[in-house]
Amino acid sequence: MAEVAVQSEGRSEGIVISDDWPGYSLELFSYPAHYSGDLDCVIIPHGVIMDRTERLARNIMDELGDHDIVVLCVLKGGYQFCADLVDRIKALSRNSNRTIPMRVHFIRLKSYLNDQSTEDLHILGAEDLSFLAGKNVLIVEAIVGTGKTMKTLLKHVEAFRPKMIKVAGLLVKRVPHSSACVPDYVGFEIPNRFVVGYALDYNEYFRDLNHICVISESGKQKYKI
């Protein structure tokens, strides 16, 4: 990861979900009936996401809580994580005498078709980020795979000369050829499987699912473009 981001100590890979973890049976949870047959298992229940997010918010406050921060939410997949994370940070801020002025800005990245990453990365809403100059920036991403997208984005953001850049990633996927580009704050490290839910999509489907689930082969076929 870029020099400016490598400032935290005790960086953690988050909660590690191993490759042989079978997940929870869908029958143990409620989920939208229109997705029945489209999912293999629940890999992270919604409540666990919320609990982990609360702790990440505390870690973020401990490190950034004495400066104004600009949150850069990476859409579309990051909207739910960002909303919940900002919510937790606000709650901590309210309940302490350290209050933290926060701005939230949205950018959009697009590189996936079906379950494959495409070569061309589009960054929208990031043309003029000059307001980041001298600020503490927290980039909030739902998922980091090879780290290539993150690397490109960091380079783009660095050009606007922020004081500090930190990255919060809810999920880090164990993929081959992953770069050294790992978020400063990680929710969960997950196996290399295509996951959906909690705003993560497969061709725009499954954002309306609360839990993070593994998509089934038939689900992939059903929503293929």
Q: Give me the residues that bind ligand HPA (CB under 6 A), please.
A: 77, 112, 143, 145, 194-196, 200
The residue nearest ligand HPA at its CB is 200
User: Least Å distance between CB 41 and ligand HPA?
Assistant: 14
Contact 92, 55 (CB under 8 A): no
Which option in Mg ion, ligand HPA, none does residue 143 bind, with CB closer than 5 to 8 A by kind?
ligand HPA
Contact 188, 15 (CB under 8 A): yes
User: Least Å distance between CB 37 and Mg ion?
Assistant: 21
**Which of residues 138 and 144 has its CB atom nearest to ligand HPA in the complex?**
144
Name the token pair of 119: 């070569």
84 contributes a contact to Mg ion by CB under 5 A? no
Q: What does each C-alpha distance from 12 to 1, 58, 60, 144, 221 come to in angstroms? A: 14, 14, 13, 14, 36
Amino acid at 58: R
Name the token pair of 221: 């076929």
Cis preceding-peptide flag for 76 (omega within 30 of 0):
yes
User: Least Å distance between CB 72 and ligand HPA?
Assistant: 18
The alpha-carbon radius of gyration of the chain (Å, integer) is: 17
User: Least Å distance between CB 160 and ligand HPA?
Assistant: 25
Which of 24, 29, 106, 112 forms a contact with Mg ion (CB under 5 A)? 112
201 contributes a contact to Mg ion by CB under 5 A? yes
Question: Which residues contact Mg ion (rule: CB under 5 A)?
Answer: 112, 201
